[in-house]
Structure 1
Amino acid sequence: MKTQRRVSAAVVALLLGGAGIAISASPAVAAEATYKVKCVPPAGGGDPVEGETTAKITAPAAAKVGDEVDVVWETVKPASNNTDLMDIPKDAVQPTGWITLGGGMGELKVVGEKKNPPIPKKAPMVMSPMKGKLKLTKAGKITLTPGKYDVAVTFSFGTFVTKCAPVGEVKGGATIDVSAGSSGGTTSGGTTTGGATTGGSTTTGGSTTGGSTTSGGSTTGGGGGQTDFPGKPVEVSFDCGPVVPGGIKTPVTINAKKNGGSYDLTVKTAKGAMAAPVPLPAGALKPSMDVKLGGADSGTVKVSGPANAEAIPDKGPVSLSDMTGTYKPGKTGKVTLSPDQLTIDVTMAAGSPPINVPCKAASSGVSLELDTTAQPGGSGSSTSTGTSTGTGTSGGLAETGAEDEGGIQALALVAGTVILLGGAVFTFTPWRRLRGTR
């Protein structure tokens, strides 16, 4: 049970807080506040966790109405260390905080840069100072008290945000003695640097997003003596639900080779360029996809690829294998082929039940168009499928992807696997089951 709680809170502990990074001195006064916070992890990251943090607020001791002053929030004491599950890469942590202003002036948003040294397992978290500018609009003493904050951590497979809010009253913080002067405007928010979170909820700075529709064009084939019909890469946005916040985006190419009256299909994703976040055994990742038929024909064709033949070490390169299947036309005419649902089966030990990660194509496009001739027993209804094959590229991990797409990181596709191995495993399977297979 202790192990379960530790793993299920992995994402939370990664994001709870940070050790301060020293800022250059300025003619200002700093004051600290130590308070408890309750942190809510992203979907699938476990239960909320409470911790204690110390924040130092730096602002001018005195100013006048009309001045715009710099305010800095530095995290002196983190609410938690990094876990023992995963190293956090360099320049991956970005904080955003909200400072409560006295006198009914509302809140000041302050944002930190996405700048941190590599944070090993169990090491103290590190967050950059959060900065903002405050326009002073009235005379008097204005208190600046640290309040809620968000922490976004970006990995190669996605960005995850934990939201922390004070538990009880927060005492302490800086005070600015504002004297009468020129009339001012309104309170301004913090400066946004390094790709800030906005509105306290949406994260930028590396997260993978879906939803944009990109058409990959079409290649007409099927007539004469031609046998090979190369498709065009089409950007596909996959929605994997809470498993992969923000979804997955990667180019997909569908190629066909005529085989009698049928077509042997090969589906490629872009070459993988991400490092494995944890060691993956041989046979851990097996992809499959539905190819959607359009135009004269309808239905889907299932294609699948082999699992990785060799174990992948921690931080080793990972790629999805080529996926193959057979399309037997049920109609005569021009038929379009488009990428549809992607599925990744995750198996952490030979013989154990796989964990199924479905990813719906939220947006897609036509990769290939064929001139087909109907075949007896072929597809042609909205529910029928082509004959799928269980074979694919043999040996190791395939070098997948169109030649001109080698620089694109498609292996955010393994994000579901990463989260399953880290913090969101309980969304899909009891911990005791996964533990028993490792």
Structure 2
Amino acid sequence: METTDLRVGIALYANAHPDDQAGNWACEFNKEPFPFMSASDLPAQTLWITNCQFGDLKQFGLSLNPKIADEGYFRTRIKQLITELGLSNLSPDKQASLLVSIVGNTLTMIKHQLNLVHIPANSLAQAVGQLFGVREAAPRSTLLQVSELACQRYTQCERERRLEKVEIFPLWFHRFDWAHEILGQPLPTSEDLSLIPQSSLPRSGQDAALLVDWAKENNLPLFAKIRINALESTVGRLLNYGAGASSIRGETASGSGYESRNMREWCALPELSVLAGAGEIEILEVAVANGWMRSPVSLLAHKASTVSYSYGLVAENLWVGLTRRHNDFRQSRTLTTAWIQALDRMRCLLAAEKLIEHGMDIANYGYGRITVVCPQSVRSSIPQIARELGLLYPASLEGIAPLPSIKDDPFSIMQTLLASRDYASFAKVDQIILSNLQSSKS
């Protein structure tokens, strides 16, 4: 379903399952919340974003319903939004009301910024992919094969220990800043790929670190087929499903073992750069894209956009949208996608290493987010650790004293608004952005 005006709502099932019939609440943008029993009770001309997983919607025949969307519509799942904003202790009607005000503003912003006539039915990133997604190479081509093998969205991690009395929660990079960093970098084009003979590489490609330096010095959009023979223990666990290894084993400093597994063989230069500094990497083949491109999308250059939670979701979907196909909502298999994902995951990995040093364990990472397993002994230090690493922590963490806000620092202001659950200030900032977008078109 595509709608010509913004008719969107949040539908919260009591237990996040479409089989729930009691305790469900929904709220349409700019309207009042109401209880509902099933999807048939929801108005047909509104796109309802639910807190249900796609698989559950599919099981109940709702995945093809044009008015129903799953929890991942905004890339950041509805459950994640509730955690970040600290809404879990509110009644479901208030949750629905606050959520729809935020995501309604998000959709209004991106409609104005991208001149969208319709709101996408499957995901917000879909709209970006339809407009700016890079076309995939021909089936069975070497270019498509390398692109597909180099792509990886996120990483599930090998956990060395099982801690007791822990909390599991996300930490995430400031969405505007992270999107600004990715969208501001040159990205490889996905039109052609040239294999480089080993004899043309420094030391015939036998030194991965030297190869990385050579590629950076010559500004090459390089991809490499690799075999991981050994990794530093922490990186080995964090790259449990990282590039290059079908199966490698090693020992941590404490003597416990880890295993790194992945059937992929190719990786982009940003990932190779990290791997080359963390272990013994064998270079099997090297290829270079035929050039660079600039991101076709950019962020709204307004001070308010850096402290808007709603625009942060816009920013996230702009860069994620570049990894989507132009003709559907699935991930594209292109060199551009692989490069963007490598930039994202390696930045997360480096932060995850620091979090481990602070006593946390890592469950997974990717899309600018790290899910941590935090023992009670570390809990009180979260604000300081997060600030040092440029990560935000969720408002759902009770009893933690926030650090003093830093004037004119968007990251600090965003964290202060989250920690204080100042939803009114978020709404005011959103109105500034919306006014700016509307005036720029008049």
Provide TM-score, normalisation by structure 1: 0.26
* Greater percentage in strand: 1
Which structure has more helix as a fraction of its residues?
2
Higher RCO (C-alpha under 8 Å, 6+ residues apart): 2
Question: What is the TM-score with the length of structure 2 in the denominator?
Answer: 0.26
